[in-house]
Chain A
Amino acid sequence: MLDSLQRLGKSGLETLSTLGRAGIFLVNGLFVVPSLRGFPLFVRQLFSVGVLSLPIIVVSALFIGMVLGLQGYNILVDYGSESAIGPMVALTLVRELGPVVTALLFAGRAGSALTAEIGLMKATEQISSMEMIGVDPMRRIVAPRLLAGFVAMPLLALIFNAVGIWGGMMVGVEWLGVYEGSFWNNMKASVDFGEDVLNGIIKSVVFGVVCTWIAVFQGYNLIPTSEGISNATTKTVVISSLAVLGLDFILTAVMFGDF
């Protein structure tokens, strides 16, 4: 009994210390004097993290939007409210699914790639040799990746929303016969830019910060063996996903709840 308490306490302290290191890591990674020299690195990372995630984001958005249209219609038609399909698809995507699903997909695709890449650099001593040559790895490796993630996530979420709504429209209007005019008009009436779209963007920015931070830190912090890399990659995806879902609840409660 005492033994398991002790182990619990020990793992609790370890978690706190890891969290602390992660925090210091983030501060060190961000408080890097930006230089024009570093811009190509940033662009390259933006490509790797953003552009390469586009296929999965766009395809997922399309399918999710279409399913929303289909299921939404099925449910609403029982109440004679199928004209509400526009607002339903739009609000669901813009407020929740857009930011959250994009973040989960991002964590799985870009996050794990970031962790593995940095982990591999650590395992092959590239980070060490960079230090020995006199280059700060925080500046060359970490900072561009962090910034690229922060910028890419909201953009991806916006694209997700747009494609998803289009998918929902395709199903609703072309296939199920909802009148296109009322689809858009009802949507415009129900979706408020400040409350819905902007809040969704804020969510995706928060998620972007969290997912990128976790991915880069896990890569930098791992045990430099192949087992260590695979463990860290798994942890990135799991911790990012849980963090996103948990934060989503908190943010939703704050933004859309009655406080």
Chain B
Amino acid sequence: MRTRTMEISVGIFILAGIIALAVLALKVSGLSLSPAKPTYKLYAQFSDLGGLSVRGRVSIAGVTVGRITDIQLDTDRMVALVEMEIDQSVDTLTVDSIASIRTEGLLGEKFIDISVGGDPEYLADGDTIIDTQSALSIERLVSNFASSLGK
């Protein structure tokens, strides 16, 4: 095999590997090439996470505005404490906003949806959303329905 052909094919091989890496980075894992958008932290407490996990999305009116970055158990009040990072550009969240855990479709992934209230004061970095609605549990719904039938 001629050396020239061999070297060219090795070059193509390495190039193919780099392209594969690029594809995996951008298309598959959504690594964004733009500089990380500035974010601020908000917290929320829930009595039942219902399967919500870190990296789940945070949305307003269905539009993704942030990510869930940490989930801890608040041992004083025995509730789940969720930490979210919200895009800096979305800074008009009122202090009486409601954070509810919703499901994508009927059986999909869990995410947090925030609906804004009417208070003149806005949430700042490190604030906690007070009004929360925990995940809808199918079992509780069914048992509620069953017991209401029984009445």
Chain A residues within CB distance 8 Å of chain B: 40, 43-44, 46-47, 50-51, 54, 79-81, 83, 90, 94, 152, 154-156, 158-159, 161-163, 165, 184, 187-189, 191-193, 196-197, 201
Chain A, Cβ-Cβ closest to B25: A193
Chain A, Cβ-Cβ closest to B17: A155
Contact of A83 (CB < 8 Å), options: B17, B55, B108: B108
Q: How far is the CB of B130 from chain A (nearest CB, A)?
A: 28
Interface centre among B9, B13, B21, B29 (most CB of A within 10 A): B29
Chain A, Cβ-Cβ closest to B64: A189
> Other CB < 8 Å A-B pairs besides A159-B17, A165-B28, A197-B28, 7 of them?
A47-B7, A54-B16, A83-B108, A162-B19, A162-B23, A188-B28, A191-B30
B142 at interface (Cβ–Cβ under 8 A)? Answer: no
- B13 contacts A51, CB within 8 Å? yes
Contact of A162 (CB < 8 Å), options: B24, B29, B108: B24
Measured between alpha carbons, how far is A152 from B16 in the docked complex, in Å?
Answer: 11
Chain A, Cβ-Cβ closest to B19: A162
Q: How far is the CB of A192 from chain B (nearest CB, A)?
A: 6
B90 at interface (Cβ–Cβ under 8 A)? Answer: no
B14 at interface (Cβ–Cβ under 8 A)? Answer: yes
Measured between alpha carbons, how far is A67 from B141 in the docked complex, in Å?
Answer: 39
- B31 contacts A161, CB within 8 Å? no
- A47 contacts B24, CB within 8 Å? no
- B29 contacts A184, CB within 8 Å? no
- A81 contacts B28, CB within 8 Å? no
Residues of B within 8 A of A188 (CB): 27-30
The tally of residues in B whose CB lies under 8 Å from a CB in A reads 27
B63 at interface (Cβ–Cβ under 8 A)? Answer: no
Given the contacts A81-B107, A192-B29, A155 and B24 also touching, CB distance less than 8 Å: no
Given the contacts A184-B27, A188-B29, A154 and B17 also touching, CB distance less than 8 Å: yes
Given the contacts A83-B108, A155-B17, A159-B17, A47 and B29 also touching, CB distance less than 8 Å: no
Q: How far is the CB of A117 from chain B (nearest CB, A)?
A: 15
Q: How far is the CB of A77 from chain B (nearest CB, A)?
A: 12
Measured between alpha carbons, how far is A54 from B25 in the docked complex, in Å?
Answer: 21
B110 at interface (Cβ–Cβ under 8 A)? Answer: no
Residues of B within 8 A of A158 (CB): 17, 20-21, 24
- B10 contacts A47, CB within 8 Å? yes
- A51 contacts B9, CB within 8 Å? yes
- A43 contacts B16, CB within 8 Å? no
B138 at interface (Cβ–Cβ under 8 A)? Answer: no
B106 at interface (Cβ–Cβ under 8 A)? Answer: yes
Contact of B30 (CB < 8 Å), options: A46, A54, A154, A189: A189
Contacts A/B (CB < 8 Å), 6 sampled = A46-B10, A46-B13, A54-B16, A158-B21, A161-B28, A188-B30
Chain A, Cβ-Cβ closest to B23: A162
B102 at interface (Cβ–Cβ under 8 A)? Answer: no
Chain A, Cβ-Cβ closest to B31: A193
Given the contacts A158-B24, A184-B27, A50 and B13 also touching, CB distance less than 8 Å: yes
Chain A, Cβ-Cβ closest to B30: A188
Chain A, Cβ-Cβ closest to B15: A155
Residues of B within 8 A of A46 (CB): 10, 13-14
Contact of B20 (CB < 8 Å), options: A47, A80, A159: A159
Residues of A within 8 A of B17 (CB): 154-156, 158-159
